[in-house]
Chains A and B, each alone.
Chain A
């Protein structure tokens, strides 16, 4: 067997990162010095990419979801009581805050010196602004103002800016880019625009209100203590997803109806109202939060959990394709959490396939901001990861 024959019989294993370091290095040297084997190698890589694109278990048409039939229910007495309570809150809210989403809307009377500070900005990926009603302008949160929010504050995120803040009693609220909300009081927020995720404090529920401008009403959700939920306020509709399997029932009430949401269910209220169980909506709710989980100072445990969940939904054949679409939609800012996950995870057999998937996805979306972390991954102990890091580096340095 000539050196070239031997080399070609090993190309497949080299591609899969299954050769020992010395053999791999010798083979690479040979590929670089031999044109014919170099050409074989590039054909092999091209075929690998074709197979990767084709051999996915998911269907590109992942819209054929099968929602559970609508389960709008007039609720039990427990909820009925909460409806009465909510009605009182709504009345109070409507009296206090004539909600409007346009720029000229009045912010809530705030800034009373005696009011206790309620929420703290934990971190953000871009500028977050707070409305200053005295000056009728938006100012950047945390620069000219203290990194705390007073009851009645109104804040918004700009493009590429996602943020997380914490309530006094350790509840968490995360806001997607291009979103706006009013922090009404310790346990009550109103989402005016965009997407928001929250985890209610351990000892009390969090109230989330979503105005429906088209129908001139407010829908109020109660996220029970220690539960997690996700909200979206769009121009024609609002929705809420109960995002964790460990959640208590999330309740919702509008002027005319009330709903119970079990874990995994989503309530959408627009022209029609329906409750469905749709895993894709849970994935979409998780995906946009990834850039927030990869910020320095975090222990990356939640990042690891989220990436693993999004990239390894084994058993649900279409889910991964859809989940990857959600991450791709984040563009360059979606690559950082993927790379941070790879950097902070072990290259053991349990995580190897997820790490490689994360790298392949990052290869498509990473931009120059990812260079520092990619440099560190070029010496990863998993050869496939190191090779992919090399390719990402090449692609960023020499864009096609």
Chain B
């Protein structure tokens, strides 16, 4: 059984891989490498979009839109190492377009996470979502990347195009800020 066999049935995956196979005349081994890469990028792109848009529904839309825009133009990318930056640029454009279209981004905190049934934990999560929504975009992206993708600092640095120490600093500041505000709100209640 291949590892990714039904992952391909995913929202983006199926479209992405289908298009790749249809449009790419590369060798099979090359196309399977692209397929894996797209799967790796999904969460990174999603984290980027959610850092900018906050709403998970908008982030899902933007992620799909990013891949839809990228795939027909995949053959424009000559250097495989530039692919990540190229995808990132497309995602940023997509987010800007979406923000413009909606005039403002949605900031209902509950929309950051999926809804949960238990009222007690949903209250906690709502509070946490509100605090994450208040973080600056770059801190939020580092946080989302880390928790969605379990990326190492080196991988995040390469993806974000910043130094490893900057990744460390962003994650540390994001956590410190959340911790401080959670404590303050606990103290207030």
Contact = CB atoms under 8 A, between A and B. Distances in A.
A is bound by B: yes
Interface of A: 9, 11-13, 15-16, 18, 43-44, 47-48, 50-61, 228, 243-246, 263-264, 277, 279, 282, 302, 305-306, 308-309, 313-317, 319, 349, 352-353, 356-357
A243 B128 CA distance: 39
Given A13-B172, A43-B179, A51-B147, A313 B1 contact: no
A12 B121 CA distance: 24
Interface string B149-160: 111110100000
Contact of A18 (B2, B128, B152): B152
A76 to B, nearest CB: 25
Interface in B65-122: 113-117, 121
A282 B13 CA distance: 17
A9, A59, A245, most chain B CB atoms within 10 A: A245
B182 interface: yes
A353 B40 CA distance: 12
Nearest to B149: A353
A315 B39 contact: yes
Interface of B: 1-13, 16, 38-40, 42-43, 46, 60, 113-117, 121, 124-125, 128-129, 143-144, 146-153, 155, 168, 171-172, 175-176, 178-179, 182-183
B9 A316 contact: yes
Nearest to B179: A47
Given A57-B46, A279-B9, A315-B11, A47 B39 contact: no
Given A52-B147, A314-B39, A16 B9 contact: no
A242 to B, nearest CB: 10
A57, A61, A306, most chain B CB atoms within 10 A: A57
B124 A50 contact: yes
A301 to B, nearest CB: 11
Nearest to B125: A54
A315 B125 contact: no
